[in-house]
């Protein structure tokens, strides 16, 4: 299969998807992950989707390949070994909060199948950081693992720093990097942390905490910050200046968008929440290029996310300046074959500027 070909040609996945897509999206999500947890299925996945290494070293970490799973699919770390069998060069789990929380009322996840897109307003539903740490300690998969932390919905925004510091302290010994999620549109006022004094205070506290943890644990765990694709140029200017000032090791660009223009005629277009998937690609790529330009010359690692539906979409993100990429919605629609196609496309230099 050409790296630019559509990965949905994977017959095994197409059969499973046709069944799962008849179900409620959250129920299908839980069922699919539960199936992947079965040892027989996991062995089948390992054989079917094994990849030749395409190693890359960033953040002091040796990644088997630059294609990772984005946070959100495994919020609680319950399925690390299963997802690690699908060819990813890294996994990011979470978003996890200090205390368990149910998230927003259902229904809160909507498929826009014709667009290859999702709208979600999940609201950081998770079992809490203590549960996640227990699951990480049980894992057998030993690939690069990031842990994504957020704030509880009941924590006032003026005290959000406390939740992020608490999360960082709790997961630090168990993570290869820690991502600070300040860009979800589904927790009230969260995106205020991407701007101004709130951003400066948060980054300063995180770096101070990181320094103390590095001394205590004898290892430096990098911090990544995940930002929204809805930041305008002035917002990117300010955020990237702050990231440089505080020597943030990685930026993940980006998250879901509040925009609806590409799907405005769809039945679900009026649902609140973040839009992800193929329609996000132009905006995500534009913002990624903007971050790359603003961080040029720094040591920061740039991770590109948003709208990857085929191999050349991933390769194009590296062309725009990303060092690594992550998948989420494209993986839901196209399955593990998309991971393979992305790795192959990145390894093929003719695809990078497509």
Does residue 291 form part of some domain? yes
**Total of domains in the chain:** 1
The band of 349, judged by pLDDT with boundaries at 50, 70 and 90, is low
Task: Show the domain range for 108.
Answer: 7-351
pLDDT, tens digit, 9 for 90 and up, residues 293-332: 999 999 999 999 999 999 999 999 999 999 999 999 999 9
Residue at token pair 């968008």: 257
The band of 50, judged by pLDDT with boundaries at 50, 70 and 90, is confident
pLDDT, tens digit, 9 for 90 and up, residues 193-251: 999 999 999 999 999 999 999 999 999 999 999 999 999 999 999 999 999 999 999 99
CATH number at residue 160: 3.20.20.70
Does residue 20 form part of some domain? yes
Pick the catalytic residue: 184, 253, 276, 298? 184
Other CB atoms within 10 A of residue 232 CB: 9
Cβ-Cβ contacts under 8 Å for 144 (sequence gap 6 or more): 61, 62, 63, 68, 89, 90, 91, 176, 177
The reported pLDDT for the residue numbered 121 is 98
d(Cα 282, Cα 37) in Å, to the nearest integer?
35
Does residue 2 form part of some domain? no
Active site residue 184: yes
Q: Beta partners for 304? A: 253, 325
Q: Do residues 330 and 277 lie in contact, with contact meaning Cβ atoms separated by under 8 Å?
A: yes
Contacts of 257-260 with CB under 8 Å at 24 or more apart are 257/185, 257/228, 257/229, 257/230, 257/283, 258/185, 258/230, 259/230, 259/283
Does residue 1 form part of some domain? no
pLDDT of residue 3 exceeding 70: no
- Asked if omega into 350 is within 30° of 0 (cis), the reply is no
The reported pLDDT for the residue numbered 9 is 64
- Three-state DSSP state, 224: strand
Q: Which tokens go with 179? A: 């991502």
Q: Which tokens go with 163? A: 């939740």
The reported pLDDT for the residue numbered 10 is 80
Cβ-Cβ contacts under 8 Å for 274 (sequence gap 6 or more): 119, 120, 121, 184, 185, 186, 255, 256, 257, 258
Does residue 127 form part of some domain? yes
- Closest by CA to 164, choosing from 151, 174, 175, is 151
The reported pLDDT for the residue numbered 7 is 55
């Amino acid at each position: 299969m050409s790296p630019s070909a559509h990965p949905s040609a994977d017959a095994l996945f197409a059969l499973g998807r046709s069944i799962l897509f008849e179900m409620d999206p959250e129920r299908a999500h839980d069922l699919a992950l539960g199936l992947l947890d079965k040892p027989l299925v996991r062995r089948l996945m390992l054989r079917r989707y094994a990849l030749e290494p395409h190693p890359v070293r960033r953040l002091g970490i040796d990644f088997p390949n630059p294609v990772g799973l984005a946070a959100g699919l495994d919020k609680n770390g319950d399925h690390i070994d299963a997802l690690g069998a699908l060819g990813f060069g890294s996994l990011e789990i979470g978003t996890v909060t200090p205390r368990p929380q149910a998230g927003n009322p259902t229904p809160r996840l909507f498929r826009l199948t014709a667009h290859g897109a999702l709208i979600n307003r999940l609201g950081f539903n998770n079992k809490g950081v203590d549960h996640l740490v227990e699951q990480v300690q049980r894992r057998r998969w030993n690939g690069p693992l990031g842990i994504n932390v957020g704030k509880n919905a009941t924590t006032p925004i003026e005290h959000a720093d406390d939740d992020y510091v608490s999360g960082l302290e709790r997961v630090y010994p168990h993570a290869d990097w820690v991502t600070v999620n300040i860009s979800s549109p589904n927790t009230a006022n969260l995106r205020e942390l991407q701007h101004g004094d709130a951003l400066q205070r948060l980054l300063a506290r995180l770096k101070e905490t990181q320094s103390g943890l590095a001394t205590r644990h004898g290892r430096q765990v990098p911090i990544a910050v995940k930002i929204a694709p809805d930041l305008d140029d002035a917002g990117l200017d300010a955020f990237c200046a702050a990231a440089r000032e505080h020597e943030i090791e990685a930026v993940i660009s980006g998250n879901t968008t509040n925009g609806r223009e590409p799907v405005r005629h769809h039945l679900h277009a009026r649902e609140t929440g973040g839009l992800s998937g193929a329609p996000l690609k132009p905006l995500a790529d534009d913002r990624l290029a903007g971050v790359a330009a603003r961080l040029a010359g720094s040591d920061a690692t740039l991770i590109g996310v948003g709208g990857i539906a085929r191999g050349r979409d991933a390769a194009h993100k590296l062309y725009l300046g990303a060092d690594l990429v992550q998948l989420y919605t494209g993986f839901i629609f196209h399955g593990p074959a998309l991971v393979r196609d992305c790795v192959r496309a990145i390894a093929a230099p003719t695809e990078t500027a497509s």
